[in-house]
Amino acid sequence: MTAAAETPTRKGSEAAAEAARRRTFAVISHPDAGKSTLTEALALHAAAITSAGAVHGKGDRRGVTSDWMEMERARGISITSAALRIDYADRVLNLLDTPGHADFSEDTYRVLAAVDSAIMLLDSAKGLEPQTLKLFDVCRARKIPVVTFVNKWDRPGREPLELLDEIEQRIGLRPTPLNWPVGIAGDFRGLIDRTTGRYTKLHRTPGGATRAEEEPMDAERAAEVEGAAWEQAQEEIELLGEIGADFDEESFLAGESSPVLFGAALPNFGVAALLESLVRLAPAPSAQRDTSGEPRPVEAPFSGLVFKMQANMDKQHRDRMAFVRVCSGRFDRGMVLTHAATGRPFATKYSQAVFGSERQTIDTAYPGDVIALVNANALRVGDTLFDGDPVEFPPIPSFAPEHFAVARAVDSGRYKQFRRGIEQLDTEGVVQVLVSDVRGEQAPVLAAVGPLQFDVVRHRMEHEFRAPIELSHLDYNLARRTDAASAPVLHGLSGAEVLSRRLDGDLLVLVHNKWRLRVIERDHPDLVLEPLLAGG
Ligand code: GDP
């Protein structure tokens, strides 16, 4: 590049053009709905379309999941989240991985702070499942547009209209199908594009998991070939038209309606349509609002949000890595950024892009991309880094914990290390730390979204802070935010305990279960008991 190409305006318009090409999203689903299979299918399909065939992170499953930590390998699960970059024609799709284990953690939620849209993946036989609901709550709170993919249509499942009804009734999201299946779940014949009316017949390829053959077919011939299944689909489509279930951009972008597509990731049915719709409908990175509500345009100088911290990836180095979503401007490796929280400089000589388990050095990145910064001990989840005009993005909210345990140092002689470790893990957002005068300083309560977070704490306390801990689980499974006036009343009740969150001082009341909570609410209607975000 010439010197003239590097003027701020030139850099800004380049960033804007690159941002427009990008779609940054996550898949929200319940374990086993088919997230890995779909991820793989999306990557393979995109690679087949993109002549360069540049799929980073490979198409195979090992490339998609991350397995940095020893513990992860031992358990064969993914605790951390990384990004998968998929080149699709002239677009760049950044798929941020939401750890897909039954036992998920706050990291899963935080990923949603870094995306512009989400695919809600449903198993056609199961519909909305608990983790999908929790993750959807976060999408709703953040007004993230959601595209719905009803998967496993090649297997027996529920009626399509019944599934739509469930979505509307249970989560108040208005479904607007973009295509409609011909043939019931388990006898999947093909898809009708509701906008164009075009029919695509799907042919199963022997052997299963290869790309399905898709045959465009005109209506007359389709009616002949598919018979009663065609008739039924036509009737249902008519009904959809009557109830006004048509795609509506405004309500989609506001997170109020959701385009729905049907398909099956495993035999690759309907994946092409999903990819197309995502590129066409999902929003590109746009101006992010800062703490004062001021939007920072994508063409402004570099800014990024730390949405995840990862420790211990390299056993030789105990340093932490920060995953940063680029919000504005062009990122060039080697830039010296400013850390908004401290005003200190942050050097990015060793920045990396993380695609699945692969790490590669990255030289430039644009809005919507994810970069990983090493030696990031000073950074915290929710922090902003910027170049040029100062900016600070709002913090990522903490989520409703459902698991609670008292931590104690095994060796009381190592209390100093114990305290330092707990404080560090709290600040990093590995768990939330709750304290109370009653329990005392030596016995803080750890609060987690998923119990796996406790294992991470235990592991790091022992290996990194050399202060092994013992955990005693508490018999509470939900938390509500309360206030100073309600706290003393609540504290006196059985099956409830009030603690304060170390980081922000918020008062939380822990309750045994939702039945106990109902009784408390009924008997004390004046007490403040506010739900926390997601799951609470
Ligand atoms: P994840 O836990 O959401 O990542 O789910 P996986 O992608 O691992 O899929 C769970 C199981 O469902 C695996 O056995 C997949 O082969 C299977 N599966 C995923 N998609 C489909 C599909 O479209 N049709 C069928 N029949 N099976 C599927």
**Residue 101 near ligand 1, beta carbon < 6 Å:** no
CA distance linking residue 120 with residue 274, whole number of Å: 12
The number of the ligand 1 atom at minimal distance from the alpha carbon of 263 is 23
> Using one digit for the tens of pLDDT, what is the confidence trace for 246-289?
999 999 999 999 999 999 999 889 999 999 999 999 999 999 99
Pocket test for ligand 1, best of 129, 149, 266 (most atoms within 8 A of CB): 266
Expressed in angstroms and rounded, the spacing between residue 28 Cα and the centre of ligand 1 is 14
> Using one digit for the tens of pLDDT, what is the confidence trace for 375-414?
788 888 899 999 999 999 998 887 889 999 999 999 999 9
> Using one digit for the tens of pLDDT, what is the confidence trace for 122-150?
999 999 998 899 899 999 989 999 999 99
Of 247, 281, 315, the residue at which a domain comes to its end is 281
- Among positive and negative, which fits the CA dihedral 359, 360, 362, 367? negative
According to DSSP, residue 152 is labeled: -
Expressed in angstroms and rounded, the spacing between residue 31 Cα and the centre of ligand 1 is 9
Query: H helices within 102-197, ranges in order?
Result: 106-111, 130-141, 160-171
Domain with residue 342: its CATH number is: 3.40.50.300
Does residue 305 or residue 31 have the better pLDDT? 305
> How high does pLDDT run on average in the chain?
86
User: Is 292 within the bounds of a domain?
Assistant: no
> Using one digit for the tens of pLDDT, what is the confidence trace for 190-226?
999 999 999 999 887 665 545 667 889 999 999 999 9
**Residue 29 near ligand 1, beta carbon < 6 Å:** yes
pLDDT tier at 61 (50, 70, 90 boundaries)?
Answer: very low
Would the pTM count as exceeding 0.80? yes
φ, ψ of residue 156 to 5 degrees: the values are -55, 135
| Residues 266, 367 share a domain | no
User: Is 286 within the bounds of a domain?
Assistant: no
Indicate the annotated binding residues.
97-101
Instruction: Look at residue 341 in the predicted model and tell me its pLDDT.
Output: 94
CA distance linking residue 329 with residue 483, whole number of Å: 41
* pLDDT above 70 coverage of the chain, percent: 85
| Residues 174, 86 share a domain | yes
Give the bridge partners for 309, in sequence order: 322
* Residue located via tokens 């989560």: 171
What residue's CA is closest to ligand 1, atom 10?
32
> Using one digit for the tens of pLDDT, what is the confidence trace for 427-442?
888 899 999 999 999 9
| Residues 352, 494 share a domain | no
**Residue 467 near ligand 1, beta carbon < 6 Å:** no
User: Is 103 within the bounds of a domain?
Assistant: yes
96, 25 Cβ separation under 8 angstroms: yes
Q: How many CB atoms lie within 10 A of CB 244?
A: 9
Domain with residue 521: its CATH number is: 3.30.70.3280
What residue's CA is closest to ligand 1, atom 15?
34
**Residue 30 near ligand 1, beta carbon < 6 Å:** no
| Residues 354, 457 share a domain | no
Q: How many CB atoms lie within 10 A of CB 283?
A: 15
**Residue 166 near ligand 1, beta carbon < 6 Å:** no
Instruction: Look at residue 7 in the predicted model and tell me its pLDDT.
Output: 79
Q: Give exposure, 133-165, as e/b (b: 16+ Cβ within 10 Å).
A: bbbbbbbbebebbbbbbbbbbbeebbebeebbe
| Residues 325, 430 share a domain | no
CA 358 distance to own-chain centroid: 20
| Residues 328, 410 share a domain | no
CA distance linking residue 160 with residue 185, whole number of Å: 8
Measured at the CA of 150, the angle between CA 280 and CA 358, to 5 degrees, comes to 70
Of 227, 246, 281, the residue at which a domain comes to its end is 281
| Residues 415, 379 share a domain | no
335, 302 Cβ separation under 8 angstroms: yes
* pLDDT above 90 coverage of the chain, percent: 63
According to DSSP, residue 386 is labeled: E
Expressed in angstroms and rounded, the spacing between residue 152 Cα and the centre of ligand 1 is 7
Query: H helices within 183-270, ranges in order?
Result: 219-226, 228-242, 249-253
Indicate the annotated binding residues for GTP.
97-101
* Dihedral angle of Cα 7, 12, 15, 21, to the nearest 10 degrees: -120
Instruction: Look at residue 372 in the predicted model and tell me its pLDDT.
Output: 83
Expressed in angstroms and rounded, the spacing between residue 270 Cα and the centre of ligand 1 is 15
φ, ψ of residue 182 to 5 degrees: the values are -105, 125
Query: Six-digit token pair at 269?
Result: 């049915």
| Residues 373, 244 share a domain | no
CA distance linking residue 410 with residue 177, whole number of Å: 56
Q: Considering just the CA atoms, what is the radius of gyration of the chain in Å? A: 25
Expressed in angstroms and rounded, the spacing between residue 286 Cα and the centre of ligand 1 is 33
Of 256, 281, 306, the residue at which a domain comes to its end is 281
Instruction: Look at residue 299 in the predicted model and tell me its pLDDT.
Output: 96
CA distance linking residue 213 with residue 55, whole number of Å: 22
28, 135 Cβ separation under 8 angstroms: yes
Query: Six-digit token pair at 271?
Result: 């994946």
| Residues 335, 276 share a domain | no
| Residues 328, 199 share a domain | no
502, 435 Cβ separation under 8 angstroms: yes
Q: How many domains does the chain have?
A: 3
Instruction: Look at residue 3 in the predicted model and tell me its pLDDT.
Output: 47
**Residue 152 near ligand 1, beta carbon < 6 Å:** yes
**Residue 277 near ligand 1, beta carbon < 6 Å:** no
139, 113 Cβ separation under 8 angstroms: no
Does residue 313 or residue 338 have the better pLDDT? 338
| Residues 78, 182 share a domain | yes
Instruction: Look at residue 214 in the predicted model and tell me its pLDDT.
Output: 82
Enclosing domain of residue 305: 298-386
37, 59 Cβ separation under 8 angstroms: no
| Residues 506, 455 share a domain | yes
User: Is 310 within the bounds of a domain?
Assistant: yes
Average pLDDT, stretch 358-378?
A: 81
User: Is 7 within the bounds of a domain?
Assistant: no
